[in-house]
Amino acid sequence: MTQQTGGRRVVANMNLSLDGRYAGPGDPTDMGWVMPYAHTDLARDHLTGLWEPATTALLGRVNAEGFLGFWPTVIGAEGADPRDEGFAKWLVDADKVVLSSTLGDAPWERTTVVDKPAAEVVADLRAAEGGDIVVLSSASVIKALLAADEVDRLALTVFPVFLGGGPRLFDDGLPAGRWTLASQAAGEHGTLALVYDRAR
């Protein structure tokens, strides 16, 4: 058995450097190191495989502001890759849950702001009908869900760069557990897209 039974699957998606970091030292929101690798067939196909079976996006506030500020502008943009446009349309239309203790009303359509622990929010989402719940690169949310053993599928894009410092995704003290490799692909620049399912 490689995923939760009788419930929705929680899929965590994150970009990582080869030395295991999701951001460099200094500004954790600076994703400039990802940009040389983001516009590749591998990255686009990887993301498409994650959002197509999903009906809900789960985000932290910072990522919500970044994602929902940028992606809707891709729809109808001249020269946009159809896969980018597909993701943008999905993100606009999907149910979005934003975890925040500071955000009041959500400025985005189809969005609920929740001030509760990530594991509680996921429990509520699992109890409702729907497809996969995708956590889109929100490190604080993914870390909390990994600590609570609430991630069913871990999707990692590994870029061939050492950041030399900065926060790591996998903290000490995570629950012990096994994962099975569901898919792997190598792309331009030596980038890897890896998908693991939690073996329960």
How does residue 151 score in pLDDT terms, banded at 50, 70 and 90?
Answer: very high
In the numeric block, which tokens belong to residue 6?
């009788």
Phi-psi region for residue 154, left (φ > 0), alpha (ψ -120 to 50) or beta? Answer: beta
pLDDT in tens, 27-79: 877 788 888 888 889 999 999 999 999 999 999 998 898 888 899 999 999 99
Q: Which residues contact 127 (CB under 8 A, 6 or more apart)?
A: 7
Q: What is the mean pLDDT of the chain?
A: 92
In the numeric block, which tokens belong to residue 166?
């900065």
pLDDT of residue 60: 93
Query: Is the pTM value of this prediction over 0.85?
Result: yes
Domains and their CATH numbers in the chain: 10-17+50-155 (3.40.430.10)
